[in-house]
Amino acid sequence: MCRTTTALLLSGGLDSAVLLAHLLGQKHRVQPLFVRCGLIWEEAELAATQRLLKALDSHNLLPLIVLEQPVADLYGPHWSLTGRGVPGADTPDEAMYLPGRNLLLLTKAALWCQLHGVQRLALGVLGPNPFADASQAFFDALQRAVQLAGGAPLELLRPFGNLTKDQVLKLADGVPLELTFSCADPQQGLHCGRCNKCHERREVFRRLGRKDPTVYAHSPS
């Protein structure tokens, strides 16, 4: 039985929800972390994360820690802060790029782990992720950098890093995906129904053969 504490960066979305359930199923003690950067969808994501943690209630689940990593001074008028020009359903995943996303998330979370005696930190990136900062090479380099910085030992993990979305979905049995949130342009707390992420979400439920219980503010355009 594995009882080492593993910190997990949660987004309230589908992949990190499945990874959370997967780690708990493997008897990890899980420290959930949420990093708030000031992006337009985060309050909805945080609410979903809290719903998910409540639903998966387990003695191996530690209380959620919320970290602050504001990016307004870096991103300026970027769509992730203004909601103007959010990539639509017909855009490639590359359109969803956020500069330095995993570098910012992992650096903040890694330092928190080192200061709190947690030696493993996981992120739910998948194999087909097109961005360099989701790669094994990046994780290895950052792990080395964090250790060179002089803190405690820390392992950066991407447990789903060799899996496709469909392979991850096969692990989703029993995971309350209806509680997750994955929209880049929330409309009063609802999924917008028109963005890149909403399109992906619809496809997930369709491929799973599960009824999509999501309330979308708009039909697909």
Strands (E), 20-119: 29-36, 65-68
Closest distance to Zn ion from the beta carbon of 42 (Å): 14
53: number of Cβ within 10 Å:
22
For Zn ion, the closer CB: 142 or 195: 195
Name residue, tokens 């219980």: 213
Closest distance to Zn ion from the beta carbon of 74 (Å): 23
For Zn ion, the closer CB: 73 or 221: 221
Name residue, tokens 């200061």: 115
Contacts of 70 (CB under 8 A, 6+ apart): 36, 37, 38
- As a whole number of angstroms, the distance between CA 78 and CA 199 comes to 21
For Zn ion, the closer CB: 30 or 39: 39
Closest distance to Zn ion from the beta carbon of 157 (Å): 29
Name residue, tokens 């959370």: 20
Number of residues that this document lists for the chain: 221
Residue 210 token pair: 């599960």
Output Rg (C-alpha) for the chain, integer angstroms.
17
Is residue 32 within 8 A of residue 62, CB to CB? The reply is: yes
* Positions that interact with Zn ion (CB under 5 A): 183, 185, 192, 195, 198
For Zn ion, the closer CB: 163 or 184: 184
Closest distance to Zn ion from the beta carbon of 13 (Å): 12
Closest distance to Zn ion from the beta carbon of 87 (Å): 10
For Zn ion, the closer CB: 28 or 191: 191
